[in-house]
Chain A
Amino acid sequence: MSLYETNFTVLDWGIVALYLTSSIAIGIWANRYVGNLSDYLVAGRTLRLRLALASMTGTELGLVTVMYMSELGFTQQYASLYLALLETAAMLLFGLTGFVVYRLRQTAVMTVPEFYEQRYSQGVRVVGGVMMVLAGILNMGMFLKAGSQFLTAISGLQDELYLKWIMTGLLALVLFYTVLGGMVSVVITDLIQFFVLGTGMLLIVGFVVWNVGFDGFSAVVTEHRGYYDPTSGINPADTFMSQDKLSGIGAIELFKMAIVIFSAAVLWPTSASRTLSVQNAGVAQKLYLFSTIGLLARRAMPILWGIGAYYFFATHADLQVALSDALADKEAPLSAWSAMPLYLAKIIPTGLLGLITAGMVAAFMSTHDSYLLCWSSVITQDILAPLFGPLSQRTRILITRMSIVAIGAVLLFWGLWYPLGSDLWNYMAITGTVYLAGALPVVVGGLYWRQASSVGAYIALFGGLVGIGALGPAIERLQGLGVELDGAQVTILTFVVSLVGFVAGSLLFPDRDRQVQREES
Chain B
Amino acid sequence: MNHEAWMTLWTALLVGSVASFAVMLLVVGAGAWGELRDALADLREDTRAAAEHPEDLDREI
Interface residues, chain A, CB within 8 Å of chain B?
Answer: 32-36, 38-39, 43-44, 46-51, 53-54, 57, 78, 81, 84-85, 88, 184, 187-188, 191, 194-195, 198-199, 201-202, 205, 218, 221, 228-229, 290, 293-294, 296-297, 299-301, 303-304, 389-394
The answer to whether B47 touches A48 (Cβ under 8 A) is no
The answer to whether B28 touches A81 (Cβ under 8 A) is no
The answer to whether B25 touches A221 (Cβ under 8 A) is no
- Contacting residues of chain B (9-61) with chain A, CB-CB under 8 angstroms: 9-10, 13-14, 16-18, 20-25, 27-29, 31-33, 35-36, 38-40, 42-44, 46-51, 56-61
Taking CB atoms, residues of chain B closer than 8 Å to A290 are: 24
A-side binding surface: helix, strand, loop or mixed?
A: helix
The answer to whether B20 touches A293 (Cβ under 8 A) is yes
A303 to B18, CA, bound (A): 12
Closest to A389 in B: B60
A296 to B51, CA, bound (A): 43
Closest to A217 in B: B11
A7 to B61, CA, bound (A): 56
Taking CB atoms, residues of chain B closer than 8 Å to A229 are: 1, 3, 6
8 other A-B residue contacts (CB within 8 Å) besides A81-B10, A194-B28, A202-B18 = A33-B44, A35-B51, A36-B57, A43-B39, A48-B35, A300-B17, A300-B18, A389-B61
Taking CB atoms, residues of chain B closer than 8 Å to A296 are: 13, 16-17, 20-21
The answer to whether A392 touches B21 (Cβ under 8 A) is no
Q: Which of B1, B6, B24, B46 has the most CB of A within 10 A?
A: B24
Give the number of residues in B that approach A within 8 Å (Cβ atoms): 43
Can you list 20 contacts pairing A with B, beta carbon distance less than 8 Å? A33-B46, A35-B48, A36-B46, A38-B46, A44-B42, A44-B46, A46-B42, A46-B43, A48-B38, A88-B13, A199-B25, A229-B6, A293-B17, A293-B21, A294-B21, A296-B13, A297-B21, A391-B61, A392-B57, A393-B57
The answer to whether B29 touches A293 (Cβ under 8 A) is no
Taking CB atoms, residues of chain B closer than 8 Å to A184 are: 43
Q: Of B21, B27, B36, B58, which one neighbours A188 at CB under 8 angstroms?
A: B36
Closest to B31 in A: A50
The answer to whether A198 touches B21 (Cβ under 8 A) is yes
The answer to whether A81 touches B20 (Cβ under 8 A) is no
Give min CB distance, B48 to chain A, whole Å: 7
The answer to whether B22 touches A54 (Cβ under 8 A) is no
The answer to whether A53 touches B25 (Cβ under 8 A) is no
The answer to whether A50 touches B18 (Cβ under 8 A) is no
A38 to B18, CA, bound (A): 36
Taking CB atoms, residues of chain B closer than 8 Å to A191 are: 32-33, 36
Give min CB distance, A425 to chain B, whole Å: 18
Give min CB distance, B35 to chain A, whole Å: 4
A221 to B59, CA, bound (A): 65
Known: A51-B39, A296-B16, A301-B17. A202 touches B10 (CB 8 A): no
A49 to B50, CA, bound (A): 26
A389 to B61, CA, bound (A): 8
A392 to B49, CA, bound (A): 16
The answer to whether B17 touches A78 (Cβ under 8 A) is no
Known: A202-B18, A202-B21, A228-B10. A221 touches B47 (CB 8 A): no
Closest to B54 in A: A394
Closest to A214 in B: B11
Taking CB atoms, residues of chain B closer than 8 Å to A88 are: 13
Taking CB atoms, residues of chain A closer than 8 Å to B25 are: 195, 198-199, 202
Taking CB atoms, residues of chain A closer than 8 Å to B59 are: 392-393
Taking CB atoms, residues of chain A closer than 8 Å to B57 are: 36, 392-394
The answer to whether A50 touches B35 (Cβ under 8 A) is yes
Taking CB atoms, residues of chain A closer than 8 Å to B13 are: 81, 84-85, 88, 296, 300
Give min CB distance, A462 to chain B, whole Å: 29
